[in-house]
Structure formats: C-alpha cells, structure tokens
Amino acid sequence: MGNYKVCVYAICKNEEQFADRWMDSMSEADLVLVLDTGSEDRTVEKLRDRGAKVTVETVSPWRFDTARNRSLELVPEDTDICVCTDLDEVFRPGWREELERVWMPGAGQAAYRYTWSFNADGSEGVVFWYEKIHARHGYQWVHPVHEVLRWVGEGSPGPMVEAERIQLDHHPDHQKSRSQYLPLLELSVREEPGDDRNVHYLGREYMYRGRWDDCIRTLKEHLKMPTAVWRDERAASMRYIARSYWEKGDIPQARDWYLRAVTEAPHLREPYVDLALMLYRQEEWEGVLYFTACALAITVRPKSYICEASAWGSLPHDLRALALYHTGALRAAADEAKRALELEPGNERLKHNLEIMEQAAGQ
C-alpha cells in the first residue's frame, strides 16, 4: 500500500456497536489485529467479517498493560509501524498517507492530535497529543491502567516524529463502568511507588470518586516527589487539592491552593479559571475580573492532556460577563456574553444572559 508495512492493533471486549465504524477508519492499514478478551456479544464475528484478524484470550488477573503487550505480540515481526487504537476511537481519513509522509527509517514514535472528548454541541472538548504509534521493536506497555509505552530496547529509541495532520477522535460509550480504574491505579502505585505520574492519576481518581481526604493526602505526596517536576501536572495536583478543600468547606485552604496552582503554572488557563469560578461563587467580582483577564490573555492552547475543555470554551467569558454586569460595566458585559455564546451557541442560559445584558446596556 505504501513504503511501510502498517499494522493497527487493539484490545476489546463487548464493543460490537463500534466494530464497523472502527474498521472503516482503520481500513487504510495493511493489517488489523485485535485481541478480544472475552466478548459476549457479536464483536468477534463483526470484526472478522470486516477482515480483522481476531485472537480470543482471557487476561486474568486483568491488567491493561498485559493485554496490550499480548496484542502487540500478535503483530508480525516485519511490521514497520504499529498503530495502537481502541475500538471507540476513529481516525479521520488520510491518516495513513500523513503517517508515511512524516515517518522515517529508524523513527521511534509518532505524535498526533487526539480529541479525547466532545462537548454536547459537537465542538471539541479535551484535546491533547497522543504517541501510540510506534516502531515494532523495543517497546513495551507498562502500568496496570493508564498504560504507556516504555522503551526497553538496546541503546536509545528512535526520534519522535510529529504528524500534525493525523487526527484521532474518541467517541466512547459513556455507560461503560470506570470501577476497575481505582483498584488498578492503587496496584500501579504499589508496584512503582516512585512513578510520579501514577501517584498523580491516583489522587485525581480519588477526587473523581469524592474521596476528598484521600485526594488531598495522595496529591500532597505527589508534590513532594523529586521526580514530580512538570509544572503543568504539579499545578493540576494543586487544583485538585483546592477543589477537595472546597468540597470539604475549607474555603481559606481552597483559595490558598488555587493561588499556588496559579504561581506554579502561570502559563496555563486552568488555574486562573478555577480560581475565578470559586470567586464567582463568593460574589467577589473584582477577583473574577482579574483572573478571567489573566486566563484570556493566554491564547495558545497547550498540547498536553492537562488542557481542559472548560478553560478554552465559554466559561471564562461567561464568568467575566457576569462580573462585569454586577460591577455596572453593562456594555462590556454584553460583549463578553456574546463571546461566550459564540463558543457555545446551543446554551439557553447564555442566550438568556445575553438578552438581559443587552437590554440593560440599551443595545
């Protein structure tokens, strides 16, 4: 098909609803391999009907890295480029051509754009860059959950190439349970207690579950780790600690930790927006104006997974519009409300706010 032999490989279980869409998307590859870990629906049958080579095996005890490594073992040795995706992910057409354009002999991995979530109106939510395209040899998946590729070959891995025109979209089944994530994350931290990324993920998972004290304790441990030096992730830990204190009703501690997050990563919108949201709830309008201005002054969206949809959507403009309205700057409030609505045109509350503010401003 091209200069390189390209193989897509995946793991799955009970995903027949995605099988045809996924195979349509992956059809640009030379070979599609799937490790099915125990489907009880028609996933295997549908994938095989569409030309995928499917191996059925049980992985027990369940670990994502074990399953990924087993699926990688199924990839032929003479494959040049391995493309790891999940069945709820879809490449936009033309990805193979772009991959061959940027790949080079000896390359290690490719980085490409990944839309992890979409807003209700179809606009992009959380967007970051993924690196699950890699050379056939020298790589291994590690960690029971939130698994990542690790170089285990001799010498150094080949260079990372950037494939800016490859776009992978995530359209998950939101009914699927996340119940296995927490015990697997706890296992991951026990196995590698010095891995700061997993400690951060564990603290975040405690926050998702409303376990505020566990979140605070775990993320304070993360911040003390000598390897926890990436400021974006450190700021995220501080924000999650702040939110946990907020949920516990400790407002001074929450404010303190939000301010720490701002200081840690002043180049990110998220800490400013979180702090502005907290001040909005306290009706501290001047503070809302200051921190939304700081957020909106940042105009280049980062490529990392730390980047959150709300900070780059209507929220900072919405908060700013409300603060301007309450401080009597009615024309400016209407302008900001209009910007918020442009970013989320289907939001009825934003439409109503704009009408009120335009009427108050005499527009």
pLDDT along the chain (363 residues), means of 10: 88 96 97 97 97 97 96 98 97 97 96 91 87 98 95 95 96 81 94 95 96 98 97 98 97 97 97 97 97 97 86 96 97 96 93 94 81
**pLDDT given at position 277:** 97
- Domain count across the chain: 3
Q: Let me know if residue 144 belongs to a domain.
A: yes
Boundary (domain end) residue, out of 266, 300, 328: 266
* Residue partners of 340: CB distance under 8 A and separation at least 6: 314, 315, 317, 318, 321, 347, 350, 353, 354
**pLDDT given at position 124:** 86
> Does residue 22 sit in the same domain as residue 155?
yes
**pLDDT given at position 178:** 75
Per residue, the 3-state secondary structure of 228-289, as one string, reads CCCHHHHHHHHHHHHHHHHHHCCHHHHHHHHHHHHHHCCCCHHHHHHHHHHHHHCCCHHHHH
**pLDDT given at position 121:** 81
| Phi and psi torsions of 107, nearest 5° | -65, 150
* Residue partners of 350: CB distance under 8 A and separation at least 6: 314, 318, 337, 340, 341, 344
> Does residue 255 sit in the same domain as residue 328?
no
> Does residue 156 sit in the same domain as residue 208?
no
Phi-psi sector, 346: left (phi>0), alpha (psi -120 to 50), beta: alpha
For residue 271, which amino acid is it? P
| CA nearest to 219, candidates 241, 187, 194 | 241
Per residue, the 3-state secondary structure of 83-138, as one string, reads EECCCCEEECCCHHHHHHHHCCCCCCEEEEEEECCECCCCCECCEEEEEEEEECCC
Boundary (domain end) residue, out of 233, 266, 299: 266
Q: Let me know if residue 1 belongs to a domain.
A: no
Residue showing tokens 């939001």: 347
Strands 160-170 and 89-91: antiparallel
For helices 315-326 and 285-296, angle between their N-to-C axes, nearest 10 degrees:
140
Query: What predicted TM-score, i.e. pTM, was given to this entire model?
Result: 0.85
CATH number at residue 244: 1.25.40.10
> Does residue 64 sit in the same domain as residue 117?
yes
Strands 109-115 and 127-135: antiparallel
Q: What is the SS3 assignment for 168?
A: strand
> Does residue 151 sit in the same domain as residue 102?
yes
> Does residue 159 sit in the same domain as residue 17?
yes
Kindly tell me the sign of the dihedral angle through the C-alpha atoms of 133, 136, 141, 145. positive
> Does residue 274 sit in the same domain as residue 343?
yes
Structural domain that includes position 230: 177-266
Q: Can the peptide bond before residue 61 be classed as cis, meaning omega within 30 degrees of 0?
A: yes
> What is the separation of C-alpha 125 from the centre of its chain, rounded to a whole number of angstroms?
9
Using CA atoms, how far residue 217 sits from 64, 182, 206, 238, 254, in Å, is 26, 16, 10, 11, 14
Using CA atoms, how far residue 45 sits from 11, 27, 38, 52, in Å, is 15, 17, 13, 10
**pLDDT given at position 272:** 98
Boundary (domain end) residue, out of 236, 266, 296: 266
**Tokens linked to 199:** 């400690």
> Does residue 18 sit in the same domain as residue 140?
yes
Q: What are the residues facing 150 on neighbouring strands?
A: 140
Alpha carbon distance 263, 116 (integer Å): 27
CATH number at residue 104: 3.90.550.10
**Tokens linked to 4:** 């390189």
